[in-house]
Amino acid sequence: MIVLVDLLLMLIDLTCSILSAVVQTFLRPRLKSVDGELCLITGAGGALGRLFALEFAKEGAHLVLWDCNAAANERTAELARELGVQVRAYTVDLSKRQSIYEAAERVRAEVGCVSILVNNAGVVAGRRLLDCPDELLERTLLVNCHALFWMTKAFLPQMKAQNHGHIVTVASALGLFSTACVEDYCASKFGAVGFHESLTHELLAEDLDGIKTTLVCPYIVDTGMFAGCEIRKELRSLIPPLEPLYTVQQSMKAILAEQQMICIPLTLIETSSLIPSANVATYRFMGGDKCMLPFIKNIELKTSNGHIKSF
């Protein structure tokens, strides 16, 4: 009898979750306030990180900005301060676990408890696997995936103590399906997606309903990180690279609506996932399986000319 009751309750919970997801898809959800919250953003000196910082500043959140590029990070801080919020910038190497832990300790001592964590930083080696130095491959995994573990271990305990917080993982469409010649990036983003989903399940299992999570999986964003990436010529105008501001604004809507996952654009990624048996054929027709070849060629050309691009 007890087992039947438990199964019935689980069925009711599942039905409510499905209905809620359907309603959120078609109706504009109420957006929460983050005014006065302390938001930490990694990769804040880059294009997306800067835009995330400015969007959160517009919402009244105070900021802690992390980046390995001190000058770019401070520029983001200056722009955010103009919007009237408190900002602290830290130079942090996310490829080094100890650097993360030490910076986290400084933040707790100097600023306070972080309640919103935006894991945005990302890198790619930009080399073919057999031509890529091991240290560059390792760096991609360390920054894009391993750092998520250390960031969460550093800041989740305070969120758990208060049952309040929000963890955002900026992954990629390449964390849902892969393409050629960016094995390091795909592996790191698949890892990021798996980590985030497991963490979400853990928080739900522990009934920590005050801690929200949002997984962001965008298509290629026009930040220059994947300059030269191209799908089939006939489809390029229909599915162009995403504008950075649009990507961040769509992500912000999902975060403030406490949406667990957002794919950008919704139609491209989620439609393909509805028909698994047709994924490979559709992907190859679009040229997605070879879209990174021009990007890799650009990097190889720059390298041969002595201009190695750093991400």
Q: 17-21, 101-105, 210-214, 260-264: which has the minimum mean pLDDT?
A: 17-21
The mean per-residue pLDDT over the stretch 135-164 comes to 98
Quote the pLDDT of residue 81.
98
Helices 279-286 and 266-274: crossing angle, nearest 10°?
A: 140
Quote the pLDDT of residue 64.
98
185 is a catalytic site residue: yes
CA–CA gap between residue 47 and residue 222 (Å, rounded): 9
Q: Where are the domains of the chain?
A: 31-228+240-272
pLDDT single digits (tens) 97-133: 999 999 999 999 999 999 999 999 999 998 888 999 9
Inform me whether the pLDDT recorded for 143 exceeds 90.
yes
Exactly one of 90, 185, 219, 283 is catalytic; which is it? 185
Average pLDDT along the chain: 84
Q: 73 near 89, Cβ under 8 Å?
A: yes
Percent above pLDDT 70 for the chain: 71
pLDDT single digits (tens) 228-238: 555 555 555 55
Inform me whether the pLDDT recorded for 26 exceeds 70.
no
Quote the pLDDT of residue 84.
97
User: What long-range pairs does 105-110 form, CB within 8 A, spacing at least 24?
Assistant: 107/40, 107/64, 108/158
Cα 10 to Cα 2, 5, 7, 13, 198: the distances in Å are: 12, 9, 5, 5, 19
Confidence band of 58 (pLDDT split at 50, 70, 90): very high
Q: Which two tokens stand for residue 280?
A: 């490979």
Confidence band of 224 (pLDDT split at 50, 70, 90): low
φ, ψ of residue 223 to 5 degrees: the values are -105, -5
Q: 68 near 60, Cβ under 8 Å?
A: no
Quote the pLDDT of residue 227.
54
Helix intervals (H) in the chain? 2-26, 47-58, 70-81, 97-110, 134-141, 147-162, 183-205, 244-256, 266-274, 279-286, 293-304
The CATH number given to 31-228+240-272 is: 3.40.50.720
Helix intervals (H) in 143-231? 147-162, 183-205
Q: Output 52 or 308, whichever has higher pLDDT.
A: 52
